[in-house]
């Protein structure tokens, strides 16, 4: 299994508070991604990174920011959490930019009350 | 933009029966297509991928998928279902813009296998 660790695994927070989710990899892969999974929507890309300090938006980036100061860490921040951001968040990594497969973490269940 | 549509959010089969999970794609260029599987409380795992080398793609756990350009389909099949195949399955297509392997996923099909 690819070395991907997401933390925390579960979090409950209140509306309006900032939240940071962490993804840590030990594979030295260049590309990292944050997806959210919601019933009826599958997985949707929030942000991705193609290198240290190089990030770009996905299809559902509003209300989220990311940072990547080291190859191994990719942080997702909900600047002011809302109930619509209650979801399961998955981090993924890939080595190349061609048709390389994604390796997924085990997910973070976030509940915003 | 690339997209995939999975027909049927829930599919139920008997153990030993054929599994058929449907996926249709929309793409302006020859697509890279994938099937991923998600077991309960886990992340997704790659089952197989199509990269234009061969239209019939074999994956892990006895699954295979056939790329049919004329039907814009990439359906997933397995001749004989096993109880351990119960999971959620996602079809995905790779985007053509930007770097990396940005995937657009379908909404998923939950497979139930009954005795």
Could you tell me how far CA A105 lies from the centroid of its own chain?
Answer: 9
Nearest CB among B32, B45, B90 relative to A99 is that of: B32
Tell me the pLDDT tens digit for each residue of A62-87. 999 999 999 999 999 999 999 999 99
Q: Max CA-CA distance within chain B?
A: 46
For an interface test with B, the pick among A48, A101, A103, A109 (most B C-beta atoms closer than 10 Å) comes out as A101
For residues A103 and A95, give the distance between their C-alpha atoms in angstroms, rounded to a whole number.
9
pLDDT, position A11: 97
Mind telling me how many Å the CA of B49 is from chain A's nearest CA? 8
Interface size between A and B, measured as CB pairs under 8 A = 69
Residues of chain A contacting B36 with CB distance shorter than 8 Å? 102
pLDDT at B54: 84
Length of chain A: 113
Q: CB-based contact (8 Å) between A42 and chain B?
A: yes
Of B45, B49, B101, B96, nearest in space to A48 by CA: B101
- Structure tokens that stand for B23 in this block: 């996926």
Shortest CB distance from B49 goes to which of A30, A97, A99? Answer: A99
pLDDT tens profile B32-54: 899 999 998 889 999 999 987 78
pLDDT at A100 over 80: no
- Give chain A's mean pLDDT: 93
Contact status, residue A102 vs residue A92, Cβ threshold 8 Å: yes
Considering only residues 50 to 79 of chain B, which have any Cβ-Cβ distance to chain A shorter than 8 Å? 51
């Amino acid at each position: 299994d690819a070395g991907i660790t997401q933390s925390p695994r579960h979090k409950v927070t209140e509306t309006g508070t900032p939240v940071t989710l962490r993804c840590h990899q030990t594979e030295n892969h260049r590309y990292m991604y944050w997806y959210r999974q919601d019933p009826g929507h599958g997985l949707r890309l929030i942000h991705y990174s193609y290198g240290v300090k190089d990030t770009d938006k996905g299809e559902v980036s509003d209300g989220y920011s990311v940072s990547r100061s080291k190859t191994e860490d990719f942080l997702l921040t909900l600047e002011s959490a809302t109930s619509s951001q209650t979801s399961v968040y998955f981090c993924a990594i890939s080595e190349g930019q061609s048709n390389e497969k994604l390796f997924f973490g085990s997910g973070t269940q976030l509940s915003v009350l | 933009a690339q997209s995939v549509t999975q027909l049927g959010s829930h599919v139920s089969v008997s153990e030993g029966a054929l599994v058929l999970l449907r996926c249709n794609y929309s793409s302006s260029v020859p697509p890279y297509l994938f099937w991923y599987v998600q077991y309960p409380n886990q992340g997704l795992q790659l089952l197989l991928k199509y990269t234009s080398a061969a239209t019939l793609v074999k994956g892990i756990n006895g699954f295979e998928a056939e790329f049919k350009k004329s039907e814009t389909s990439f359906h997933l099949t397995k001749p004989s279902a096993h109880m351990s195949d119960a999971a959620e399955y996602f079809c995905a297509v790779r985007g053509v813009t930007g770097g990396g392997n940005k995937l657009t996923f379908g909404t998923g099909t939950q497979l139930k296998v009954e005795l």
